[in-house]
Structure 1
Amino acid sequence: MIDDVAPKLVWEALMSNPDAVLCDVRTTAEWHFVGMPDLSQTGKPIIPVQWQVFPTMQPNPEFLDQLKEAGVEVTHHIYFLCRTGGRSLAAAHAARDAGYRHVYNIKDGFEGPHDQRGHRGNVAGWKHQGLPWSHR
């Protein structure tokens, strides 16, 4: 089972655990047009590795290789992030199955579910929690 971790707890882990990393598995379009977490206060980079490749949204056959190339070790505590938590959960499962020992899904992702008006970012998720983010 993969644990869902609230965004604020992820932030605390990134600040306090030298082995904690954040892997953003959204698409290049989401990174550029929606924004990304800003980890500058943690002194750590975001690890952007698409789970699905834009624009076809086909699974990224290089996902695990790119994770390794980004310097992610099997001993790291990896917090996976997507828009709402679905793709990041799938990525966490793939990483765990590949031997990564400490994998987590960021609950509600970067934007969370739709609100009553059909907009994201107002109900739950990284942005709603007031955690640092910026446009890339």
Structure 2
Amino acid sequence: MKHLSPKEAWAWLQAERTRLEAAGQDGPLFVDVRMEIESLYVGRPPGVENIPWYEYPDLTPEPQRFAAAVEAEAGSKARPVLLICRSGKRTLDAGQALEAAGFVEVAHVVHGFEGDLNDAFKRSSLNGWRHDDLPWEQM
């Protein structure tokens, strides 16, 4: 699994999209593994697909279900997949599940969308997608 900073992930998405589309293929699949409510209300990068690693009320990951859902959206295990979550922790487990299921190219966004907690227990102040001022939208 590739570990990409938010800025590296954004650059990788753009470059891979251009490369693959020039070859007549779909660009990378960008997956937000947070719960749907997190993705909608906290914000998310544009063009991301929400496929939760786990969901309320169980909050229990189901790796096979997750891998099957990603494969259904990707259309192929050969399609590159980029994962993002709140802080970059859930994507590690989700990425390992995809690799175990046979996905060929998996990457994740280190520090995720909101980044690490600062000394005042607030996110988006030290690192992460929003901190790096990358494109995002909110419902």
Aligned partner letter, 2:90? R
Structure 2, unpaired ranges of 5+:
18-26
Q: What's the counterpart of residue 41 of structure 1?
A: none
Counterpart in 1 of 2:127? 124
8 Å CA contact 2:6–2:110 kept in 1: the answer is: yes
Would you say the 8 A contact 2:4–2:109 is kept in 1? yes
**Residues 7 and 129 of structure 1 are in contact (CA less than 8 Å); yes or no, is this contact kept in structure 2?**
yes
Number of aligned residue pairs: 129
Instruction: Percent identity, please.
Output: 28
Moved over 2 A (4+): 18-21
Partner of 1:26: 34
Give the match's secondary structure for 1:104. Answer: strand
Please list the CA deviations of residues 75-99 of structure 1 after superposition, one character each: whole Å capped at 9, or x if unmatched: 2221111111111111100001111
Q: Deviations over 1:43-86 (max 9, x none)?
A: xx312100011233111452112112213422222111111111
Q: Provide structure 1 residue ranges, at least 5 long, that are not aligned to the other structure.
A: 39-44
1:55 aligned residue:
57
Query: Rg larger in 1 or in 2?
Result: 2
SS in 1 for 2:12: helix
| Cross-structure match for 2:7 | 8
What is the one-letter code of the residue matched to 1:28?
E
Structure number with the higher helix fraction is: 2
Structure 1 residue 36: Cα displacement? 0.7
Once the two structures are superposed, residues 73-131 of structure 1 have per-residue CA deviations (whole angstroms, 9 ceiling, x without a partner) of: 22222111111111111110000111101111211011111112111111111111100
Amino acid across the alignment from 1:16 = A
Greater share of strand: 1
Q: Which residue of 2 aligns with 1:97?
A: 100
Residue 26 of structure 1 and its aligned partner are, at CA, apart by 0.4
Preserved CA contact (<8 Å) 1:29 1:54: no
Answer whether contact 2:29 2:74 (CA < 8 A) is retained. no
Q: TM-score under structure 1 normalisation?
A: 0.87
Structure 1 residue identity aligned to 2:30: L
* Amino acid corresponding to residue 55 of structure 1 in structure 2: P
Contact 1:26 1:49 in 2 (8 A): yes
Q: Which amino acid aligns with 1:107?
A: V
